[in-house]
Amino acid sequence: MKPILLFFVLLCLFISCEKNGLMESYNPENYFPLSVGNFWVYESSYTTNGGNKSSLGMDSLVVKKDTIMRGQTYYLVEGTWLGNRPYKEYLTYIRKQVISINGKVWFEGTDFGSIVNSYASVSGQDTSYSEKFYMIKPELEVSVPTGSYETLALVGIYRSPSVSVQDNVHTKWHYAKDIGMVKIHSDYITQEYVIEMDLLEYELK
């Protein structure tokens, strides 16, 4: 194939991919802003299968500082989540991801549907449970006290021999553009209750 003809074929393929959204990507800095001083405040609650909802109090996350590690700028995000459980992670931007110092992906802006994290707990020679995580792109609006947002979500899928319903959505982290994480929805393993975190207020520097 002549070089000029090859060029036009490749150009047409590129345009076709863009038109069909196959090359669509989302900037992680817009969906997970990590400037020092940014903070988010949440209301956490749990709801039983019977529909009874109870408050777990307030949670908050703040970007405390930045530091250079392994030649990369990492941001310390610290606070509590899902009912005052301690949270502390060093996060950075690599390509289209937000990724922790230990390799956990918290946001992926390009590769939707592919597994970005996977974990397994082994007891003896048996796997007691495993989880896998992947990104999905824009969902229906998610409503929280600060408003309604079209979000990208990190989805966690749980598997366990002790749970009859397999591949149920275990956890969803919802990210909104120019805000950050606006909601977490976590179905507990026993399916007896759901814990949620809804954004109450935030400030971006």
And the tokens for 25?
Answer: 């990507």
And the tokens for 45?
Answer: 């609650």
* pLDDT of 159: 72
And the tokens for 22?
Answer: 């196959």
**Which residues, in sequence order, are CB contacts of 161 under 8 Å at separation 6+?**
126, 127, 128
pLDDT in tens, the chain (205 residues): 455 544 444 444 444 444 444 456 899 999 999 999 999 999 999 898 778 889 999 999 999 999 999 899 999 999 999 888 999 999 999 989 999 999 999 999 999 999 998 877 666 555 566 788 999 987 778 999 999 999 999 998 877 666 655 555 578 999 999 999 999 998 875 667 889 999 999 999 9
Of the candidates 151, 186, 180, the one whose C-alpha atom is nearest the C-alpha of residue 56 is 186
Taking a C-beta distance cutoff of 8 angstroms, is the pair 199, 59 a contact?
A: no
And the tokens for 201?
Answer: 């207020």
* pLDDT of 162: 63
* pLDDT of 14: 42
**DSSP tag of 179:** T
* pLDDT of 20: 43
* pLDDT of 178: 97
CA 96 to chain centre: 13
Alpha-carbon separation of residue 80 from 86, 112, 121 (angstroms): 4, 28, 24
Say how many CA atoms lie within 13 Å of 172 toward its Cβ: 19
Tokens 């507990």 appear where? 188
Fold of 26-203: YmcC-like fold (2.40.360)
pTM: 0.82
And the tokens for 6?
Answer: 């090859």
For residue range 116-141, what is the model confidence (pLDDT) as tens digits?
A: 988 776 665 555 667 889 999 877 78
Q: Say what percent of the chain tops pLDDT 70.
A: 78
And the tokens for 58?
Answer: 């307030």
For residue range 65-94, what is the model confidence (pLDDT) as tens digits?
A: 999 998 999 999 999 998 889 999 999 999
And the tokens for 90?
Answer: 């060093």
Taking a C-beta distance cutoff of 8 angstroms, is the pair 75, 90 a contact?
A: yes
